[in-house]
Structure 1
Amino acid sequence: LQPIYCNLSKQSSNTFIHVVVTGKERGMCGEELKKINFEIPECNVFVHDLGIRNRSSDNENFMSSIFTETTHMVNQLRPIVLIYIKNLEDFVMRGIDAATIATSKINKEFTKIAIPIEYMNNIVFIADLPIEALKQWNTPKFRVQVITYDRPASLKRLVESLMSSIYLGDNVSLTINIDEGADQKTIEYSHAIEWRFGKKNILRRTVQGGLVANIVESYYPADNNDYAFIFEDDIEVSPFFYIWAKYAILKYRYGPDKIFSNRMYGVSLYNSKHIELTLPKHTKFNAALVLDSAKYNRRSPYLCQIPCSWGAVLFPEIWREFHHYISTRLMDPSLQDINIPEKTRKGFLLPLMKHDIISEGLPNGVLPDYRKLPTLDLFGTVVPFKTLVERGHNLHRNISLCPPSNSAILTYDPKDLLCIDESKIIEAKKRKKSKKSKKSKKSKKSRKSKKSKNRLKIIKHTKTINDEQTKNKAINDKQTKNKVINDERTKNKSVAAPIINKINSDSKSANLNSKSNQPKR
């Protein structure tokens, strides 16, 4: 317990931590613990020693003395929270347990946190919980709802994983919800389950309702501290699922962060691998990559709008609101004609957490404050929380006759979801269709323009080639023509040369003759 009480002592200067040991004869005395604590910086705690000696042969008187000493110590210190080890095989611890139970019945401001000795290594997260949340340790009540029909082998696997889980000594009830038409093996196995963590119930429908009705009608909260895990029989849980859920709920619902977390509706037990709203096909999703790209710690928990249908703990006020909403919808025949996308078979396997590494897997080993959690929208994109709220208000204004509330206090009343203005919906659909049509035309025009540009490029390129070919042809023709002319000239020159020569020769000869015929003087 040392890491826990030392960390708790650092939370606030107004909080005083007292540590009580049972004595040297039982393994630890007060002086020895003070020396150990002195070596740890900032571990400012007060140490008390009950000095209990080995018990006598009279067990009844021994337990009575332990009860008296513990009661006296509690009355003197007046703690608001008492964390202790619960071990009913140890007479001293039984006496302490009896004293704390008696005190908690008298003093309503006193909170006892009794941790079974076998789970002492699983409560490191307590050190991160503020005193305000620790005071509410026993306030939230949890129940497990199992939905089954005709898969006895799968049901057995789920129940065995639930039986192997750690509930920290809390009372957790189990209810098996069986739809009409279930096979005999499923029914027999359900009756044979020995649930040792609380009450077991079996609910069997007389009229087959199907999966949706079975889930919706399995749980209706008695108050705002009544939580439910809803599991279909085709899954299996980690032994530490309950620790994770209780840690998150105490941190965000019962600590100082509760004033910010009023829009939080549950705690998921798995990290989704698909975004199911990107129709017609699902999109693969990797939260670590998304968070990393948005400059968040890739191991950080995050807030997400997408409901988790394969394993989650649901919050009571949100579930009541949904219950009211769905029942009102089912009463109106005009609201039943819903276009459901074509069914697809989806599935993935996630390795179960076999060791308690909850704290090790968190940034700095603890859950971040609520306002520091990244927020993802329906499509797995990181967006500011205010943006999501504004989107909701805009949608509300577009389809509802009831204006959205400007108050930060939520009423969890579904009435504002049910006063729908059909004309606004039709108008919104038309706008969406028109926008889609314009986008399609624009896209088509863009493709056509791009195609035309490519065609112009081809034509221009072709014309350039043709121009080059024409130019080359003209040059060739000119060269050919020049060659023909030159050939003609050459030919004419060759023909003309002998004629000229002959004429010149005849002329010379005639001249000679004329000279010779001239009279002498």
Structure 2
Amino acid sequence: MSIDEIALVCPSSLRASAEYHARKHATTTIRVLVADPLPSTDDLLATSAGRSSWLQVIDTIASDFVFVLDENVVPGPHYLQYIHGLMHTDEYRNALLGSHGMLLPASLNSKFDPASHILCLPNTILPSVTQPVDLLQGAWLLRKAWLPFLAMETDLAAPLSYYISQTLHQHANVPSILIPPHSDQEYQLDLNKDQCKEVETAYRENGAWQQLLNRRQHPTCLDYRQTTLMQLDTVLFFADGPEQMIELHPLVCRYTTPVHLVVTGKERGLDGVALDAALYESGCLNADNVIVHDLALPVADELAVASMAAQGVVRLIQVLQPQALVHIRQDKPTFHVMDAMMQAQDTTVTIGLPIGDVRHALWIADLPIDALKHWNDIDVDIVVITDRRPHSLSRLLQSASRAHYLGDAVNLKIHLEQSSDRVTRMLVNGFRWQHGQKTMRHRIRKGGLMPAIVESWYPSSDHNYAVLLEDDIEVSPYYYVWAKYSILQYRYSDASHEARQFMYGISLYSPRHLELLPQGRRPFDPVTAIGDDYDTRVPYLTQVPCSWGAVYFPEHWREFHGYLTSRMEDLRQDQLLNITVPGSRSERWKKSWKKYFIELVYLRSYVMLYPNFQMFESFSTNHLEFGTHVKKGRSHALDEFLVPLMQRDTILSQLPGKQLPTFADLPILNLWGQRVTLDGLEKVASNWHTNVSACERMTGRFDPQDLLCPFVRHRHGKKVKIGGKKNSGEIEYVEPVEYVTVAAGEATAIEGSDNDEQQQQQQEQQEQEQEDELWTENEAYLPVPIDVSQMSSPEADHQSEDDELMDVERDIETLNSLYYHLHPEQLHESSSSSGLAAED
């Protein structure tokens, strides 16, 4: 090969001698470059890159390739031609090649061990194959485009061979590849074995290099190899500065498995080595399993720091292949650049938690890794149904806006009834929702509560969930935390197949009553109902759907839509279906969506998760604002329905074992609050299915069609299965007979309540007539625009009213009457304070 020029680098003390020898080679131009090495210090040993003078003059080279030879190294006659030829192949075009190299010990999956030995190659231990190495020794054939990277002057305390290989790898994406020794000695490099020992000595004695290796910011080749052999379900944390580290500290320390923590270095206020020691001093129980990686970023502007931090994290992710990256969500370039670069990482889910929300997501450490991977798949809609109660609606919206959403985008969808007043519409239009998109819908024809709720949401995917809230609900600041934790635990874990099939939602409310007993509402204590077999505060499953704040799941709600559509159409036409729930008070609710949902869950064995915290502490409460039906001054019974909202996050501290149990470990109650098993519910549902449908029961498909096969009446009074062949014979079924027993006192109460409603309507009509008489003669003839929200339509309102709520009203009136009968002195005080007449 033709050599254009030879550059001989020497200190000024050897300049004369070097020039003398250069003149003796007339056929080849030898240029003498003088560069005095940096003075030797504890950090810059003789083998350090900082002591290599040629790095100071590398920018003066103009040729396409530079063949750098260390002292005391002799290449074979054809070694340069051999390496040069390989660098012109597609496989090795962008690689640094050599025949002698070293492997450093793996350090990313364990604490750094300074006593570990490095491996010099080639040797007799490892097979002689082409392989990546951490550093090449003795000779380096460099492309001109790589030279500027070598002049960056970083990590000069490391040995020269490490500096060259790592600088090109980290900044130019040029790997160091070891070529197996050639059979012909002319193609080999004669390397003094002492050079390998010098690097081994520096590995043990060079304090500055040891500190660099302790940062674990540069993965070794053995780290890459371990990745192909070990599939670790690990989590990677990123903290830019002490503030973020303080925020992440309780979550990092909650883990019981090894985790990796990346920090940006001393210049950003957080040194990795110091942090490692501080974890032990802070009492972190997981300190032994926290592996700290220090990127040691230099002082620079925020954009440059953000870019370098993201590149360093991505490099570690390529080696560690973590399942999740957890970092702090802030309006800073570091977060935005990191978030953008992580979008391209398909195998790692990014979890950005706002400052202040990490402490409410400590349960992340308890989630199975297969569930945690779906963190960003969950799409929650807050669905609000409102009419003409602006004060109640304002209270609900304000409480929802103060909640912790863990950095998620949560959309708010508000559905206004046709009769919603002008104040309500103005409130909705002007309300700012900062956690996602806000959408509104206003009905043009009054439909009542059942279509308002059922039609308010239809899932867009199997990851779309809805929090259904009426306007007299108020939510806890931690309702979304409870919802997301439960969804991840019971919907996305590989071990939650039964939960995905049978659990249809998550209640935010803790009921004090059983509402489906035939004799009416009765006090309910979940601790007593569950029994001594479970922890006192264990959440429980029950079939009863919650309408006072709950999350509903997409597959089950989609199935309910199909079921209700067919049920409503059948009631409007032939009424062929005879679907009932025996012994349930919901059979009296003809206009309540819950009646039909209860039918579905009873026939499908579906269950809902309910909280069970102290003193009925809940994530939602209902203020039960019925308008004129409940007298404001005489509503002592309302206290039985109100529950305290969780204002301080005690979710984990109250749960058994400080985490949500598995689905199999949750107690199950039926519609009437009795302890049952899932198999027991399935047996009851399967038996009752034969009484309500002529089709064979099919489960697990979230398709209601098997429930909607009516029996057709035969002219002899028998029932035959629809769809049977004429010649196959009729399949006869015994028509179920339902006996309903009503106590005389209850019948009288019901009749009395109907009379109360008639008297109430008459009173309202009289008040309206009196108000009309107050109009002056001129005012009566003034043109008045039509406002639907101010039009009186008591008959239409009554027809569309949810009779489940009317049932609650009657119970409250009954409880109030009993209360005042036992405490007559309270009646006078209540009437006086509210301005009501005593005889009222």
Shorter-chain TM-score category? 0.7 to 0.9
Structure 2 partner of 1:270: 509
Deviation at 1:424, TM superposition (A): 6.7
1:50 aligns with 2:295: yes
Structure 2 partner of 1:81: 324
Judge conservation of contact 2:418–2:444 (CA < 8 Å) in 1.
yes
Judge conservation of contact 2:669–2:676 (CA < 8 Å) in 1.
yes
Structure 2 partner of 1:419: 709
Equivalents in 2 of 1:394, 1:99: separation in Å?
56
Trace 1:27-38 onto structure 2 (pairs within 5 A). 27-37=269-279
Deviation at 1:64, TM superposition (A): 3.1
Equivalents in 1 of 2:528, 2:254: separation in Å?
32
The alignment of Structure 1 onto Structure 2 pairs a total of residues equal to: 419
AA paired with 1:323? H
Trace 1:334-345 onto structure 2 (pairs within 5 A). 334-335=574-575, 340=588
Equivalents in 2 of 1:122, 1:187: separation in Å?
34
Deviation at 1:197, TM superposition (A): 0.4
AA paired with 2:528? L
1:385 to 654, 660, 678: 678
Equivalents in 2 of 1:428, 1:269: separation in Å?
40
Judge conservation of contact 2:409–2:436 (CA < 8 Å) in 1.
yes
Judge conservation of contact 1:6–1:44 (CA < 8 Å) in 2.
no
Equivalents in 2 of 1:156, 1:424: separation in Å?
54
**Greater relative contact order (Cα 8 A, min sep 6): structure 1 or 2?**
1
1:66 and 1:342, CA in 2 relative to 1: closer, same or farther beyond 3 A? closer
Equivalents in 1 of 2:313, 2:537: separation in Å?
43
1:424 and 1:47, CA in 2 relative to 1: closer, same or farther beyond 3 A? farther
Other structure's SS at 1:249 match: helix
Other structure's SS at 1:146 match: strand
2:255 to 8, 21, 30: 8
Equivalents in 1 of 2:589, 2:285: separation in Å?
60
Judge conservation of contact 1:101–1:112 (CA < 8 Å) in 2.
no
Trace 1:473-512 onto structure 2 (pairs within 5 A). none
Unaligned stretches of 5+ in structure 2?
A: 1-247, 581-586, 592-628, 631-636, 713-717, 721-732, 743-840
Equivalents in 2 of 1:415, 1:342: separation in Å?
22
1:83-121 Cα shifts (integer Å, max 9, x gaps):
1112224xxxx32442343232x2322200000112122
Deviation at 1:74, TM superposition (A): 3.0
1:286 to 513, 525, 541: 525
Identity in percent: 37
AA paired with 2:669? L
Equivalents in 2 of 1:370, 1:391: separation in Å?
20
1:163-201 Cα shifts (integer Å, max 9, x gaps):
111101100000110011211111111101100000000
Equivalents in 1 of 2:542, 2:509: separation in Å?
12
1:41 and 1:180, CA in 2 relative to 1: closer, same or farther beyond 3 A? closer
Equivalents in 1 of 2:350, 2:719: separation in Å?
55
Equivalents in 1 of 2:735, 2:521: separation in Å?
25
AA paired with 2:704? P
Deviation at 1:421, TM superposition (A): 2.6
Whose helix fraction is larger, Structure 1's or Structure 2's? Answer: 1
Trace 1:88-107 onto structure 2 (pairs within 5 A). 88-89=331-332, 94-104=333-343, 106-107=344-345
Deviation at 1:260, TM superposition (A): 2.0
1:266-312 Cα shifts (integer Å, max 9, x gaps):
00001111111112311111112222x34211200011000001110
Structure 2 partner of 1:458: none
Judge conservation of contact 1:70–1:96 (CA < 8 Å) in 2.
no
Equivalents in 2 of 1:411, 1:75: separation in Å?
39
AA paired with 1:326? L
AA paired with 1:399? V
Trace 1:150-165 onto structure 2 (pairs within 5 A). 150-165=388-403
Q: Which moved more, 1:390-399 or 1:171-180?
A: 390-399
Other structure's SS at 1:112 match: strand
Structure 1 partner of 2:208: none
Q: Which moved more, 1:19-28 or 1:361-370?
A: 19-28
Trace 1:131-210 onto structure 2 (pairs within 5 A). 131-210=369-448
Structure 1 partner of 2:657: 364
1:200-246 Cα shifts (integer Å, max 9, x gaps):
00001111111100001100001110000010001100000000000
Equivalents in 2 of 1:59, 1:23: separation in Å?
14
Structure 1 partner of 2:108: none
Equivalents in 2 of 1:40, 1:215: separation in Å?
48
Trace 1:298-313 onto structure 2 (pairs within 5 A). 298-313=536-551
Other structure's SS at 2:495 match: helix
AA paired with 1:107? Q
1:5 and 1:233, CA in 2 relative to 1: closer, same or farther beyond 3 A? same
Trace 1:459-478 onto structure 2 (pairs within 5 A). none
Structure 2 partner of 1:324: 562
1:294 and 1:399, CA in 2 relative to 1: closer, same or farther beyond 3 A? farther
Judge conservation of contact 1:175–1:200 (CA < 8 Å) in 2.
yes
Other structure's SS at 1:419 match: coil
1:34 and 1:211, CA in 2 relative to 1: closer, same or farther beyond 3 A? same
1:127-174 Cα shifts (integer Å, max 9, x gaps):
111111111100110010000001000000000000111101100000
Trace 1:105-120 onto structure 2 (pairs within 5 A). 106-120=344-358
Deviation at 1:366, TM superposition (A): 0.5
Structure 2 partner of 1:23: 265
AA paired with 2:588? I
1:400 aligns with 2:707: no
Other structure's SS at 2:652 match: coil
Judge conservation of contact 2:303–2:334 (CA < 8 Å) in 1.
no
Trace 1:432-471 onto structure 2 (pairs within 5 A). 432-433=738-739
Unaligned stretches of 5+ in structure 1?
A: 11-15, 438-521
AA paired with 2:424? T
AA paired with 1:249? I
Equivalents in 2 of 1:3, 1:169: separation in Å?
18
Judge conservation of contact 1:251–1:257 (CA < 8 Å) in 2.
no
Judge conservation of contact 2:265–2:294 (CA < 8 Å) in 1.
yes
AA paired with 2:272? G
Equivalents in 2 of 1:161, 1:107: separation in Å?
36
Equivalents in 2 of 1:341, 1:2: separation in Å?
52
1:282 and 1:427, CA in 2 relative to 1: closer, same or farther beyond 3 A? farther
Judge conservation of contact 1:23–1:49 (CA < 8 Å) in 2.
yes
Equivalents in 2 of 1:340, 1:96: separation in Å?
56
Structure 2 partner of 1:69: 312
Equivalents in 2 of 1:66, 1:19: separation in Å?
13
Q: Which moved more, 1:322-331 or 1:340-349?
A: 340-349
Judge conservation of contact 1:132–1:254 (CA < 8 Å) in 2.
yes
Judge conservation of contact 1:149–1:182 (CA < 8 Å) in 2.
yes
1:410-466 Cα shifts (integer Å, max 9, x gaps):
000000111133667994532x449x89xxxxxxxxxxxxxxxxxxxxxxxxxxxxx
AA paired with 1:31? V
AA paired with 1:311? G
Equivalents in 1 of 2:483, 2:680: separation in Å?
27
CA RMSD of aligned residues (A): 2.6
1:48 and 1:424, CA in 2 relative to 1: closer, same or farther beyond 3 A? farther
Equivalents in 1 of 2:454, 2:547: separation in Å?
12
